[in-house]
Amino acid sequence: MTYAIAAAGTGGHVYPGLAVGEQLVADGVARSDILYIGGDRLAATVFPEAGFPYLRLEVRGLSRSLSLKNLALPIVIGRATLRATSELRSRDVRVVLGMGSYTSVPVGLGARRVRAPLYLHEQNAHAGLANRMMGRLAVTTFTSFDETEGAIRPSHVGNPVRSDLAQFSRAELRREAFERYGLEPGRVTVGVVGGSLGARAVNRAVVAAMSDWDGPPIQLVHLAGRDHVDEVGSAAGASEVPWVVLEFETDMQFFFAAVDVVVARAGGMVAEITATGTPAILIPGGFGSGGHQDANSRALERAGAALTLAEDRVDQLSDLIAQLAGDPAGRRGMSAAARDIARPAAAATIASELRRAHG
């Protein structure tokens, strides 16, 4: 075992981490030589299913509200650090990448103890707590944005996306994508995605927007998430707007090939939006570290690639969808702006640096 990648929590951490590992494999590293380290949520499914060795650590993040659980956090991190250190040493890990989630702290401390170079990746425009804590121990913090607040020794490379999106061609995939979802030609297609479990606020905003739709002809492909697919599906069944509702999509290249506009949160999804050149309406979530989703969304908005809609103004969503649906020239401009700030080669850049450090 010669490489370790710590990634846990949401898809915004997990899938960029997976993209780097898959790039290492494409570069000739054996899949069995890449150890993923995470928790018991999404990572525990994604990485083993992709064929990689996986170590589950008993660790959790800091509670943002006052909680007695935070008093035990040093003990939890200490135990996880001992476990991580032991595994890194026994598996002869030579280089470590932390994707900024809570597992990056014990794994980063373990990397220091076994003298393996530590690299970090920050997906957001505002560095998360784990990366701010571990940044001084790292060789560099790879960043997704040109200016990332709080990143220590930053190196702007972009946010890793999987090869199907890094090499994305809407024109080549469009017909197959329409067939996949049963879409109608001649309608603007609006894609909706809230995250791996679905974002309740995003889903309900779209349901409300479609309840009395009187704008240009549109159709929806809606990734509602496991927890909300039934609720959204019921609304779609009662709507006059053609509306395809899915729990999730594993092959996101088809989703982006089908859609002309996407409505989404502003987490890790922004990398896929820019890589595919997709105009976006972003509804930042107020959770996470330091309002990072709002910072992400504003960065895309400044570039001309997205519109930001605050969660307390989601009643305006139908107006924004109608605006973009009726403005093909505007959508083309946003698409070009998104591609201008995209860094689709991020996974290749990071993988190359890890291989160089490995020696």
Tens digit of each residue's pLDDT (9 = 90 or more) over 152-187: 999 999 999 999 999 999 999 999 999 999 999 999
> Which amino acid belongs to residue 100?
G
Mean pLDDT score, 1-6: 92
Domain segments of the chain: what residues? 3-164+344-358, 168-341
> DSSP alpha helices (H): ranges in 100-218?
104-113, 129-134, 163-166, 170-181, 200-211
Tens digit of each residue's pLDDT (9 = 90 or more) over 187-199: 999 999 966 555 8
Q: What is the pLDDT at residue 101?
A: 83
- Does the pLDDT of residue 309 top 70, yes or no? yes
Q: What is the pLDDT at residue 40?
A: 85
Please answer whether residues 269 and 288 qualify as being in contact, where contact means their C-beta atoms are separated by less than 8 angstroms: no
pTM of the model: 0.89
3-state helix, strand, coil in the chain (%, to 5): 50, 15, 35
Q: Which two tokens stand for residue 291?
A: 């309002």
Q: What is the mean pLDDT of the chain?
A: 92
Residue from 114, 90, 93 nearest 3 by CA: 93
- Does the pLDDT of residue 308 top 90, yes or no? yes
Mean pLDDT score, 114-119: 98
Token pair 């994604």 in the structure block, residue: 46
Q: What is the pLDDT at residue 291?
A: 73
For 168-341, CATH number?
3.40.50.2000
Torsion of CA 76, 94, 139, 80, to 10 degrees: 0
- CATH match for 3-164+344-358 among 3.40.190.290, 3.40.50.2000, 3.40.50.1820, 3.50.50.60: 3.40.50.2000
Measure the CA–CA gap between 243 and 184, rounded to whole angstroms.
11
Q: What is the pLDDT at residue 66?
A: 44
Tens digit of each residue's pLDDT (9 = 90 or more) over 24-68: 999 999 999 999 999 888 999 999 999 999 999 987 554 454 444
